[in-house]
C-alpha cells in the first residue's frame, strides 16, 4: 500500500519557505482564535509574534470576515486607476489617525509601500528641478522589505547576500544601538551622536544628491532598537536643514503596536512620507499604504506628460481589504487597544525585569508591545550568544506553548535578540503566562 503522506511531508514536497532552512519542520497551523494558534496535531500555542508582527486585533474576528465578505458580494474588485468608496473612506480614516493631511497610494505589502515611497521622493525632486537628488539614506540593522529597492535600503547584510547587486542609490549610516553603541557612547554621555551621523553621512555623500532618509521610529526586526528620546526630532530637523524628505516606515510600529497609534507620534514629528502595512488589516488580508503629505503631492498635479505618478498596482487597495481595514481600525478604537498595548507592554517588561540579573541577558528593550531580549555570553563582554543557543531558547518556549521570534538572518554574529510582539488584545493573565514561559526557557536553555 502507498504510504499516506503527513502534512509535513506534503509541505516539503510543495512549499518554498522564506527564512527557513530546507527540511526544517514548520508548524502546520490549522486554526487560530484570539492570541492562540492550534496545529494539525492539536497542540495549542500562544502566538507571541502576532504571526509576523501583524495580527494586532487577534485571530478569529468574525466581524472582519463579514466586512470582507459583504464588500466582496457588493463589488469584489475594481482598480485604483479609478477609485471606489472603501479606499476613499479608508484614506479619510487614516488621515484622522495621522492628524494631518496626506494622500494615499495603496499596495499589498510593506516592501511595495516603501518602493512607492522611493519613487515618490525621486520623482518629486525631478519635478522641482533637483534631479540630482536621488539617494536614499537608511541605517544599518534596519529592515525595509524584500524587493530589490527595499532590500537595498535594508541594513542587514545576511538578507542581501547572494541577491546583490541590488538597486543603486542607497546608502547607510549607524543605527541607534545604545547597547553596542558604534560611537562608543554611554547613556550618560550620549548627545544623539547617532543622529548627527545622519547629517555627517549626507555631507560625505554631498547633501544635494540625497532625496530621502527612511527609518522606522524603532528598529524592530533588526533587533528591537529603541533610540533615546529626542533622536527622531533631531533627524527631522536635519532633514529640514538639508532639504531632504523624511520617510517613516510604520509597517510594524503602526496601529498601536508601540503604545501610540503610530510610532513617530511618540516624538510629535510630522513625516513627509509614511509607509504602513501589517496592522492596518491585522494580517487578515494583504494591504499597505504610502501616505504622501499633500504639499509634496502638489508637485504631481502639474501639467506635463510625465508629471503624474506612473506606478500601478493591480491588487493594491482591493475593496475588500479596504473595507476590512476600516473595521479593523474600528475594533482598535472601540477596544482601546492602543492603551492596552502600553499597559500590557509595561506589565510584560516589569515581569521580565528579574532577567536583567541573568548572566546571559545583556539587555531588554521595549516600546509598547515590541520587546527584544539580547542574549550574550556574559554581561561584562557583551559578546553575542551563539545562534545555536538562541534557537534552543526559542525551541524551549515552543515546548512550553509559546511562539517567539529572533532577529534571524540579519547581521553575521548578531542574530542574538529574542523578539516578542503579541497581539494587542493580550490580557493580564496571558502576559503572566508569556513572561513565565520566557523566563523558564532562558533558565532551562542558557546554562
Instruction: Give 447's pLDDT tier (boundaries 50, 70, 90).
Output: low
Asked whether the predicted pLDDT for residue 438 surpasses 70, the reply is: yes
| Nearest partner of 110 among 323, 365, 257, 281, judged by Cα | 281
User: 122-178: per-residue pLDDT in tens?
Assistant: 999 999 999 999 999 999 999 999 999 999 999 999 999 999 999 999 999 999 999
| Nearest partner of 439 among 397, 387, 379, judged by Cα | 397
Render the burial of 13-23: b for 16+ CB within 10 Å, e for the rest.
eeeeeeeeeee
Alpha-carbon dihedral angle through residues 268, 270, 271, 274, given to the nearest 10 degrees = 80
Peptide bond into 165 cis (omega under 30): yes
| Side-chain half-sphere exposure of 105, counting CA atoms within 13 A | 27
Q: What is the pLDDT of residue 187?
A: 82
Q: What is the pLDDT of residue 4?
A: 75
Chain-centre distance of CA 414, in angstroms? 19
Cα–Cα distance, 208 to 206 (Å, whole number): 6
Average pLDDT, the chain: 96
Cα–Cα distance, 414 to 140 (Å, whole number): 12
Asked whether the predicted pLDDT for residue 48 surpasses 90, the reply is: yes
Region 360-384: mean pLDDT is 97
Cα–Cα distance, 122 to 235 (Å, whole number): 20
Q: Do the domains spanning 7-57+336-445 and 63-334 agree at the CATH topology level?
A: no
Q: What is the pLDDT of residue 1?
A: 46
Contact 203, 173 (CB under 8 A): no
Domain boundaries, the chain: 7-57+336-445, 63-334
Q: What is the DSSP letter of 166?
A: -
Domain 63-334 carries which CATH code? 3.40.640.10
Contact 440, 398 (CB under 8 A): no
Cα–Cα distance, 104 to 95 (Å, whole number): 9
User: 410-428: per-residue pLDDT in tens?
Assistant: 999 999 999 999 999 999 9
Q: What whole-number percentage of the chain has pLDDT above 90?
A: 93
Cα–Cα distance, 134 to 159 (Å, whole number): 23
Contact 222, 143 (CB under 8 A): yes
Q: What is the pLDDT of residue 191?
A: 87
Count CB atoms within 10 A of the CB of residue 9: 12
Pairing of strands 417-420, 135-139: unpaired
C-alpha cell at 413: 554574529
Give the CATH architecture of domain 7-57+336-445.
Answer: Alpha-Beta Complex (3.90)
Cα–Cα distance, 122 to 115 (Å, whole number): 11
Q: What is the DSSP letter of 424?
A: T
User: 286-321: per-residue pLDDT in tens?
Assistant: 999 999 999 999 999 888 889 999 999 999 999 999
Cα–Cα distance, 328 to 308 (Å, whole number): 31
| Side-chain half-sphere exposure of 286, counting CA atoms within 13 A | 11
Of 55 and 184, more confident: 55
User: 199-231: per-residue pLDDT in tens?
Assistant: 999 999 999 999 999 999 999 999 999 999 999
Q: What is the pLDDT of residue 123?
A: 96
The answer to pTM > 0.85 is: yes
List phi, psi (to 5°) of 253: -70, -20
User: 230-248: per-residue pLDDT in tens?
Assistant: 999 999 999 999 999 999 9
Pairing of strands 135-139, 361-367: unpaired
Amino acid at each position: 500500500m502507498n504510504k499516506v503522506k503527513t502534512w509535513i511531508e506534503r509541505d516539503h514536497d510543495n512549499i518554498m519557505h522564506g527564512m527557513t532552512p530546507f527540511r526544517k519542520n514548520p508548524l502546520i497551523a490549522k486554526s487560530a482564535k484570539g492570541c492562540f494558534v492550534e496545529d494539525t496535531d492539536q497542540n495549542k500555542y500562544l502566538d507571541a509574534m502576532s504571526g509576523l508582527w501583524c495580527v494586532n486585533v487577534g485571530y478569529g474576528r468574525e466581524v472582519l470576515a463579514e466586512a470582507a465578505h459583504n464588500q466582496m458580494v457588493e463589488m469584489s474588485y475594481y482598480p485604483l486607476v479609478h477609485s471606489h468608496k472603501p479606499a476613499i473612506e479608508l484614506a479619510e480614516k487614516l488621515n484622522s489617525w495621522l492628524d494631518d493631511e496626506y494622500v494615499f497610494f495603496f499596495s499589498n505589502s510593506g516592501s511595495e509601500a516603501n518602493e512607492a515611497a522611493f519613487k515618490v521622493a525621486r520623482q518629486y525632486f525631478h519635478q522641482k528641478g533637483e534631479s540630482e537628488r536621488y539617494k536614499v539614506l537608511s541605517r544599518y540593522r534596519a529592515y525595509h522589505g524584500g524587493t530589490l529597492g527595499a532590500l537595498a535600503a535594508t541594513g542587514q547584510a545576511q538578507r542581501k547576500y547572494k541577491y546583490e547587486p541590488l538597486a543603486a542609490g542607497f546608502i547607510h549610516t549607524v543605527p541607534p544601538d545604545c547597547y553596542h553603541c558604534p560611537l562608543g557612547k554611554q547613556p550618560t554621555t550620549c548627545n544623539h551622536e547617532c543622529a548627527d551621523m545622519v547629517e555627517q553621512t549626507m555631507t560625505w555623500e554631498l547633501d544635494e544628491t540625497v532625496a530621502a532618509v527612511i527609518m522606522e521610529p524603532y528598529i524592530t526586526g533588526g533587533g528591537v532598537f529603541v533610540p533615546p528620546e529626542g533622536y527622531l526630532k533631531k533627524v527631522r530637523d536635519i532633514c529640514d536643514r538639508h532639504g531632504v524628505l523624511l520617510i517613516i516606515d510604520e509597517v510594524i510600529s503602526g496601529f498601536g503596536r508601540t503604545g501610540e497609534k503610530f510610532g513617530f507620534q511618540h516624538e510629535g514629528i510630522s513625516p513627509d512620507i509614511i509607509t504602513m502595512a501589517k496592522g492596518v488589516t491585522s494580517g487578515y488580508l494583504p494591504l499597505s499604504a504610502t501616505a504622501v503629505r499633500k504639499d509634496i503631492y502638489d508637485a504631481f498635479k502639474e501639467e506635463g506628460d510625465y508629471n503624474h505618478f506612473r506606478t500601478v498596482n493591480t491588487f493594491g487597495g482591493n475593496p475588500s481589504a479596504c473595507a476590512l481595514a476600516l473595521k479593523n481600525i474600528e475594533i482598535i478604537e472601540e477596544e482601546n487597544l492602543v492603551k492596552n498595548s502600553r499597559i500590557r507592554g509595561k506589565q510584560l517588561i516589569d515581569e521580565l525585569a528579574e532577567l536583567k540579573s541573568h548572566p546571559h541577558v545583556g539587555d531588554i528593550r521595549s516600546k509598547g508591545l515590541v520587546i527584544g531580549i539580547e542574549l550574550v555570553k556574559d554581561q561584562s563582554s557583551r559578546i553575542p550568544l551563539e545562534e545555536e543557543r538562541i534557537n534552543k531558547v526559542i525551541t524551549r518556549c515552543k515546548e512550553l506553548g509559546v511562539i517567539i521570534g529572533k532577529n534571524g538572518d540579519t547581521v553575521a554574529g548578531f542574530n542574538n535578540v529574542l523578539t516578542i510582539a503579541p497581539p494587542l488584545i493580550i490580557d493580564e493573565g496571558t502576559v503572566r503566562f508569556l513572561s513565565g514561559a520566557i523566563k523558564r526557557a532562558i533558565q532551562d536553555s542558557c546554562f
